[in-house]
Amino acid sequence: MSATYGTTVRVTIFGESHGKGIGLVLDGVPAGTPVDEGFIRSEMARRAPGQNLLSTQRKETDAFIIESGVFEGRAEGTPICVLIPNSDQHSKDYSLLKDNMRPGHADYAGRVKYGGFHDYRGGGHFSGRLTAPLVWAGALAKQVLAAEGIVVGAHIARLARVEDRPFAPLGETAEILASLRTQVLPTLDPAAAPRMEAAILAAREGLDSVGGVVEVLALGLPAGLGDPFFDSLESRLSHALFSVPAVKGVEFGDGFGLADLRGSEANDAMHYEDGVVKTLTNHNGGITGGITNGMPVLFRVAVKPTASIARPQHTVNVAERRDTILTIQGRHDPCIVPRAVPVLEAVTAWTLWDVLLRDRKGEGL
Amino acid sequence: MSATYGTTVRVTIFGESHGKGIGLVLDGVPAGTPVDEGFIRSEMARRAPGQNLLSTQRKETDAFIIESGVFEGRAEGTPICVLIPNSDQHSKDYSLLKDNMRPGHADYAGRVKYGGFHDYRGGGHFSGRLTAPLVWAGALAKQVLAAEGIVVGAHIARLARVEDRPFAPLGETAEILASLRTQVLPTLDPAAAPRMEAAILAAREGLDSVGGVVEVLALGLPAGLGDPFFDSLESRLSHALFSVPAVKGVEFGDGFGLADLRGSEANDAMHYEDGVVKTLTNHNGGITGGITNGMPVLFRVAVKPTASIARPQHTVNVAERRDTILTIQGRHDPCIVPRAVPVLEAVTAWTLWDVLLRDRKGEGL
Amino acid sequence: MSATYGTTVRVTIFGESHGKGIGLVLDGVPAGTPVDEGFIRSEMARRAPGQNLLSTQRKETDAFIIESGVFEGRAEGTPICVLIPNSDQHSKDYSLLKDNMRPGHADYAGRVKYGGFHDYRGGGHFSGRLTAPLVWAGALAKQVLAAEGIVVGAHIARLARVEDRPFAPLGETAEILASLRTQVLPTLDPAAAPRMEAAILAAREGLDSVGGVVEVLALGLPAGLGDPFFDSLESRLSHALFSVPAVKGVEFGDGFGLADLRGSEANDAMHYEDGVVKTLTNHNGGITGGITNGMPVLFRVAVKPTASIARPQHTVNVAERRDTILTIQGRHDPCIVPRAVPVLEAVTAWTLWDVLLRDRKGEGL
Amino acid sequence: MSATYGTTVRVTIFGESHGKGIGLVLDGVPAGTPVDEGFIRSEMARRAPGQNLLSTQRKETDAFIIESGVFEGRAEGTPICVLIPNSDQHSKDYSLLKDNMRPGHADYAGRVKYGGFHDYRGGGHFSGRLTAPLVWAGALAKQVLAAEGIVVGAHIARLARVEDRPFAPLGETAEILASLRTQVLPTLDPAAAPRMEAAILAAREGLDSVGGVVEVLALGLPAGLGDPFFDSLESRLSHALFSVPAVKGVEFGDGFGLADLRGSEANDAMHYEDGVVKTLTNHNGGITGGITNGMPVLFRVAVKPTASIARPQHTVNVAERRDTILTIQGRHDPCIVPRAVPVLEAVTAWTLWDVLLRDRKGEGL
C-alpha cells in the first residue's frame, strides 16, 4: 500500500517502466481548480529523458491523457486519472536482468519482497520513470500555489563535487527562481553549470555515473502550516522526498551543519519588519516545531549516483544462487540529478498544497 | 491530526509539559505480546531528566500508569493507554513566555497555528517531554524485535564537533550495542565521551547549548521490508524521526556523502556468503528501492542545539507587537543529544515493528 | 486498529469495563473551540447507568478528568485526552465468565480474535461502558454544531413492539428536540413512554431483555456535505453507528421501505421555497448521491435486546470444550435502548462535525 | 477524498459516465495472486447493461485493459490499474440535465458540493457505471477467497413487493450459491423470478421504476475476523455497501427484526458440533461484538427504485432559479436491483479480503 500519499489531496501512482503505461489518480482536488495542460506539459518536459547527452537516450515524450476528473479545463472535484503511455521500450535489453541483480538497485530487495512475481524489465514499478506522474501532480500544485503567491524553486547545489552557491537563506527573487526553470543544469552561479556538465560527460565517458545535492526553496508560505510531532512539515516533506528513487538524505535549514553550532548561533533572532514577524537569520529553514514560521522554507536533498552503470560489476545470480559479473546493457542516465530537480520541486509542491488545504479546513467553525 | 502515526501498530500521543500529564495510546499490539514493565522503566530512565549536570534539573521520574490494554502481564490486543503524570512543574517560570517568543522554538509558529489558545507553559504540547511516550512505545517494540533477533542501537556520532568513530557499515556486535545502552554519553570510542561531556559542561557554563549527530543501527532485519515510493522504509523512518523535536536532518547509509561518489563507488557489490546474499560494502545503509536488502540498516540524525538558552536574545513580544530582549528563566538541557539517543532508538524500533507486522500480513493467502 | 475513527477530527478510545478506567483522545479539534464542561456532564448523565430501574444498577458517575488539550476553557488545538475512571466494579461477578461464553455477546468471537489474552471481566473492551467516551466527544461536537445552527436529536421510535410516532420527514421544531433530551424514555408521543417503561419492567421481571429502534434527526445541515462512493455521508455515518455495541441495522430516509416504492413515489420532487431549493417529501432522508441536499438528515438504527439476561442459557465452556448451561450473575440493563439514544446522537454529532470540517477545507484556494 | 477504501488491499476508483473511461487502482494485492481474466470477465458480464429489457439499453461490453500490476497472469504486488473505456455514450441526451435537477438523484447535492464544475452528463462520477470497477475488484477478491474456502453469494430477497424465500440462517450449499450466479434474476424460489420480471416490465411500461432488497451470504469465514468499535466488521461492510449508489439500508442477521425480539429469543445459543463451536440459530448474522463467530455472515441491503424515470417530474432549474417540470430522456434501468446483486457481492468480497489480510498480519510475531 505504498502507492498513495496525502491527506487532503491524495496522490496514487501506478505503472511499470515496460508495461502499457504509467499514471496517477489525484483525489481531493477542489472543484473549479484550473488545469493548464500547457504548463503541465512544460513541467513534464523538464523531466523527460532523451533530450541531450546528459540523460538516458530513451525517448519518451511523456504525453499524457486525462481520463477523468477534468471538465472544460477545470477540476471537477472528482478523482483525476492521468495516463502516460509507454512508447519507447526496448524490453529485450532487460532479459539478462531477470536473475542477475544490479548492485545499488532495488532488484534484490524487490525480488525478496515480491517473491519474484514483479515485472523486472527496466526496474518495473521501481523505475525512475514513475516520477513522471509525480511531476504531473506537482505541476497542478504549482499552479494553485502560484495563485496564492507561493513559489517553489530548486537548483543543483552540488554535483560531482562541483558546488553552486547556496540559496540566500532569507530568500531569492521570483526572477531568479524563474530563470532556474529554463536551465538544463539549473544553477545560481553561471560558472557552475558548465563544470557540472563536464563532470557528467566525463562520467558517461568512463561508463560511470555521478550524484549530487538539490536545494529546494519555497517562498510565500504563511506562518502556521504544519503540526507538532507526527505531521510536522519536516516529517511530511521528508516522507514524500524519500519516496523519490535515489534520494538518501534530507536536511532542513542548516541541517547537519546545525549539529556544529551553539544555540546562540543557531537560534534565529526575531524582530518586526513592517509589522510582520521575521527572523534575522534562517538556520531553521523556515520551520520550527514542525510548523512554518513565515520565513522561506529551505532544504537540501542528497541524490546518489545512478545505480545503472555500464561497467562490469560483481553481483549475484539468484536463480543459480552463485556469484557473477554483470555488465548492464541498455540506455541509462549518467547523472539523475538534473532530472531530479523538477521531480523534487513537484513533490514539494503537492505536499505543501496538501498541507495548505488541510490547515485551512474548519477555520470558519 | 498530528498525534497518531503508524499503520499496523498505531501510536497516539497526548499531553503538555505543564498540564496534568502526558501519555500515549498504542493500538494494534498483537494479543499476547509480553509487556515487561521493568525493561520499559529502564528505557524510560535513559531518557528521564535531572540525573546529572548534562541535562535539565527538572526531576521527573517518568513513572507510568497502564490504564488499559494490558492484562496479567500481556497485551490484550485492545488499545493500550499509558499515563505519565507530570510531577515537578514550575509553571511560574513560564509566565514571561506567554507573549515573548523564544528564538529557535515553536513558540511563534505554534502561536500562529493555534491562534494563541494553546498552553504556552514549558512549550506545552511542543515540549521535549512528549518524547517520553515515544520511549514507552519503543521499549515495547524493542522487546518484540529482540524476540525476532532484531536489535536497535545508537551512539553519539558527533557532539559540539567532537567525533566518535562511526558504526562499522557491515554491523557491530550485540555486545557493543548493549554496552552503549549503559553509557550516559554513549560512544564507541571511550575517549570521545569525556570530551563530549566537557563540551556540554562548557556550554552550560557559557549559558549556551550544543548540538550533535546520532547514528542509529538496526541489526537482524530480514530482506524485503518496506515498499517502493510512498511507504519506502526511508520515508517511514524519516517521517517518524523528523517528528522528534530538534531533528533537522536524516541521511541513510553514506547519505549526503553519496552525492560525492561515482556509481562505481556507491553501488554495493553483492555476493553469496554462506548461501545468503550480502553486499561487500553498505553505502546504501541496508535499504535499496525503499526496501531492506538484508544488510544492517544504518542512518544518521542531526540534532540542533537546545533552543532554550539562558543568554539574552533578540526577539518579539507579540502581544505588544514590538521587538524585545528575552532572557529565558527556568531549567533547561545544555545539550539534548544524550537524551535524544534513546528517543531516536525508540522511534526507530516502533517504526520497524509496524513495518514488520504489516509486511507479514497475508502471507498465507 | 479499531480504536480510531475520523479524518479531520479523530476520536481514539481506550479502556476496559473493569480496568483502571476508560477514555478518549480527540485530535484535530480546532484551537479556540469552547469546552463547556457543564454541558458535557449533562450529556454524560443522560447515558450514565444506575439512575432508575430501567438500567443496570451499577453506579458510575462517569466523572471525567481532562488530561490535556484544554486550556482556560478552550481547546488548545492539540490532542485532548479525557479519562473516565472506573469506580463501581464488582469483578468477582465475572469469574464464571472467563470460560463460559455468553450467548449473543462478543465473548466467543473476542476470545478467538485475541487468543484469550483480553480482559474478560464485564466484557472488557467490548463493554457498553466504552460508549461513555463516545458521548464525551459527541457533547463537544454538539456545542460546535449548535453554534452553526445544527441540532441533532433522537427518540425511541419503537421498543418491545411499542411504537412512537415517527419524526416528521420535513423536520421537527428545536423545542421538540430539546424536550426529548429531558425524557428518561424520549418519545414524541407522550402516551408511548409509559407503555415502553412497562415493557422494560416486564422484561426485567421475566429475567429477560427487550430491543428497539432509535430514530435520529439532524437539522440545519447545509447542502453539499459528503461524497460520492467511499465517503458517502451514509457510509461514514453507518460506519460510526455500527461501531456502537448492539446496533444491527441502519436505514436512511424510508430505508427498507424504499424497496417497496416506485421511482415516481420515492423521488423527492424539488421546488424553490423562499429562494432555497427544498424537496416536497424526504424519502431519501436528506442525502442523495452520498451528499446532503439541504433537507433534514433522518435515519433509524436497530438496537438488539441486551445479550446479558439472568435466565439460564445453553452455551459452551471453551476451556473444557464442552456444552454447558450458564446463568449470568451481575447487574445488567433490561433494555439498552434508552441509554443508546444519547450515544447514537453523540456518534452522529461527531461524524457530522468531522465531515463539516473536512468539507470546508480549502474553500479559499 | 472519497475515491479510496480499504486498509490492506486498497481500492481507488475514478471516471465518469460520459468521459473517456472509468477504472480502478488496486494497491496491496499480495504478489503472486493469480488473476483469472476469464472469471473477471464473467463477473463483469453479470453487471453489464444492455443484455435484456430488464436493464438500460446502453450497450457497454465493459471490456477492460490491465495497465499495470499484473505480469504473466499474476499480481506483481505493485499497484494494479485497470481501465474500462466508455464506448456507447449518447452525450446529447444529457444537455437538458445541466441545469434541471433530476429528483432522487445526486444532481442537486453534487452541484452544491462541486460548485457546478463537475461533468453532469449521465450523472458523471455519480453514475451507477462506476460500479463496474467495484465488480472488477470483487472478482479478484472472490478468486482469492475461494482458494480459502470462502464463498459469497446473493439473491433478490424482495423486488416490487415480490418476495423470495430468505437464505437459511445456518447456511446454504455451495451449489445453491453457484446456481444463483447463473440467473438473470437470482432467486432461491424459482417461482419468484418470473413474478419479479413481470413487475419490472410493468414498471418499464409505466415509465416508472421499482426497488428491492438484496440478501448476501458469506460462507466459510473463520471466527475472529473484525474488531470492536470503529472497525467492527459491520462498520466496514456497511461503509462499503452504502457507497454503492441507491443503497439506503443495511441490516445484519435479523436486523430491524431484532428490535422486536426478547434477549432470550435473540441470543444464539452455542454448542459444540464435531468439536467446533456453533450456534443453534443465527439471529446475529454471524457477527457478535463486531467480530465473526464462525457462523455464516448474513445481511440484507435495501436498494431504492431507479431515480431516472421517464415520467414528467416537478423539480428546479438552478440556472434560472425557478420551478420546472422535467421529463428525463435517455436510456435507463427500470430496476437496478438485478445489476446490484453482483455489485453488492463484489463489495462484500473485497471488504472481507481486506479484513482477512489485515487480521492475519503479524501472527508470527
Print burial letters for C337-359: b (CB count within 10 Å at least 16), e (below 16): bbbbbbbbbbbbbbbbbbbbbbb
What pTM, to 2 d.p., does this model score? Answer: 0.96
Which regions of chain C are under pLDDT 50? 361-365
| A211 contacts A337 by C-beta, under 8 angstroms | yes
Could you tell me the pLDDT band of residue B361, with boundaries at 50, 70 and 90? very low
The DSSP string of C73-102 is: TEE-SSPEEEEEE-----GGGGGGGGTBPP
Give pLDDT, residue C18: 85
The single-letter code of the amino acid at A342 is P
CB spacing of A30 vs C360 below 8 angstroms: no
| Nearest of B347, B330, B345 to residue B46 by alpha carbon | B345
| C235 CB within 8 Å of a chain D CB | yes
Give pLDDT, residue B91: 58
The nearest CA of chain B is from the CA of D357 a distance in Å of 5
Give pLDDT, residue B14: 97
Tell me which long-range contacts B36-43 makes (C-beta under 8 A, separation of at least 24): B36/B143, B37/B66, B39/B139, B39/B142, B39/B143, B40/B64, B40/B136, B40/B139, B40/B140, B42/B139, B43/B135, B43/B136, B43/B138, B43/B139, B43/B142, B43/B342, B43/B346
Q: For D79, name the nearest residue in chain B, comparing CA atoms only.
A: B228
| Nearest of B88, A166, B32, D226 to residue C114 by alpha carbon | B32
CB spacing of A65 vs D20 below 8 angstroms: yes
Residues of A with CB below 8 A from D1's CB?
7-8, 10, 27-28
Percent of chain B at pLDDT > 70 equals 95
| D356 CB within 8 Å of a chain B CB | yes
The pLDDT mean for chain B works out to 92
Higher pLDDT, D7 or C332: D7
Helices (H), chain A: 37-47, 107-114, 131-147, 174-181, 192-205, 233-241, 263-266, 337-360
Least confident stretch, A52-56, A133-137, B187-191, D119-123: A52-56
Least confident stretch, C313-322, D121-130, D162-171, D305-314: D121-130
| B269 contacts A102 by C-beta, under 8 angstroms | no
Residues of A with CB below 8 A from C148's CB?
365
CB spacing of B228 vs A110 below 8 angstroms: yes
Question: What is the sign, positive or negative, of the torsion defined by CA atoms of C112, C114, C117, C123?
Answer: negative
Count of residues in chain B: 365
Give pLDDT, residue B118: 82
A11-28: average pLDDT: 94
C36 alpha-carbon distance from chain centroid: 21
pLDDT at D361 over 70: no
CA angle C299, C304, C307 (to 5 degrees): 155
CB spacing of A360 vs C356 below 8 angstroms: no
Could you tell me the pLDDT band of residue D132, with boundaries at 50, 70 and 90? very high
Residues of D with CB below 8 A from C281's CB?
none
Q: What are A182's three cell numbers? A: 529554463
| D211 contacts D160 by C-beta, under 8 angstroms | yes
Give pLDDT, residue A52: 73
B102-118: average pLDDT: 92
Give pLDDT, residue B365: 33
Give pLDDT, residue B89: 66
In this complex, which of C14, C31, C71 lies closest to B25 when CB atoms are compared? C14
| Highest mean predicted confidence (pLDDT) among B115-129, B350-364, D246-260 | D246-260
Give pLDDT, residue A29: 95
Count helices and strands (H / E) in chain C. 8, 18
- Neighbouring chains of B at 3+ CB pairs within 8 Å? A, C, D
**What confidence tens digit (pLDDT) does each residue in A298-324 have?**
999 999 999 999 999 999 999 999 999
| C21 CB within 8 Å of a chain B CB | yes
In this complex, which of C78, C360, C364 lies closest to A362 when CB atoms are compared? C360
Task: List C-alpha distances in Å: B82 to B11, B27, C87, C273, D114.
Answer: 11, 12, 19, 54, 43
- Neighbouring chains of D at 3+ CB pairs within 8 Å? A, B, C
| Nearest of A240, A195, D302 to residue C252 by alpha carbon | D302
Cα–Cα distance, A171 to A169 (Å, whole number) = 5
| A34 contacts A74 by C-beta, under 8 angstroms | yes
Give pLDDT, residue D17: 87
Give pLDDT, residue D271: 97
**What confidence tens digit (pLDDT) does each residue in D273-323 have?**
999 999 999 999 999 999 999 999 999 999 999 999 999 999 999 999 999
Q: For B34, name the nearest residue in chain D, comparing CA atoms only.
A: D365
Residue with cell 544518521: B300
Could you tell me the pLDDT band of residue B329, with boundaries at 50, 70 and 90? confident
| B228 CB within 8 Å of a chain D CB | yes
Give pLDDT, residue D364: 32
**What confidence tens digit (pLDDT) does each residue in B242-266 have?**
999 999 999 999 999 999 999 999 9
**What confidence tens digit (pLDDT) does each residue in B85-97 have?**
998 666 566 678 8
| B269 CB within 8 Å of a chain A CB | yes
Residues of A with CB below 8 A from B272's CB?
316, 321-323
3-state secondary structure C235-247: HHHHHHHCCCCCE
pLDDT at A176 over 90: yes
In this complex, which of D148, D356, D361 lies closest to B360 when CB atoms are compared? D361
The nearest CA of chain B is from the CA of A297 a distance in Å of 13
**What confidence tens digit (pLDDT) does each residue in D235-248 have?**
999 999 999 999 99
| B359 contacts B224 by C-beta, under 8 angstroms | yes
Cα–Cα distance, C318 to A108 (Å, whole number) = 47
| A222 CB within 8 Å of a chain C CB | no
Give pLDDT, residue A61: 77
- Neighbouring chains of C at 3+ CB pairs within 8 Å? A, B, D
pLDDT at D19 over 80: yes
Helix (H) or strand (E) holding B98: none
Least confident stretch, A175-189, A239-253, B14-28, D42-56: D42-56
Percent of chain D at pLDDT > 90 equals 82
Give pLDDT, residue C1: 56
Residues of A with CB below 8 A from C357's CB?
361-362, 365
Could you tell me the pLDDT band of residue A4, with boundaries at 50, 70 and 90? very high
| D130 CB within 8 Å of a chain C CB | yes
Q: Which of A8, A14, A86 to probe by mutation at the D interface, max D CB count within 10 Å? A: A14
pLDDT at D119 over 90: no
D49-69: average pLDDT: 80
Task: List C-alpha distances in Å: B140 to A136, B38, B338, C234, D358.
Answer: 42, 11, 21, 39, 21
Cα–Cα distance, B178 to B154 (Å, whole number) = 10
Give pLDDT, residue C90: 62
Give pLDDT, residue C51: 72
pLDDT at A94 over 90: no
Could you tell me the pLDDT band of residue D123, with boundaries at 50, 70 and 90? confident
Helix (H) or strand (E) holding D136: helix D131-147
Give pLDDT, residue B1: 55
Give pLDDT, residue D91: 58
| D85 CB within 8 Å of a chain A CB | no
In this complex, which of A1, A119, A124 lies closest to D10 when CB atoms are compared? A1
Backbone φ, ψ for residue C248 (5° rounding): -125, 0
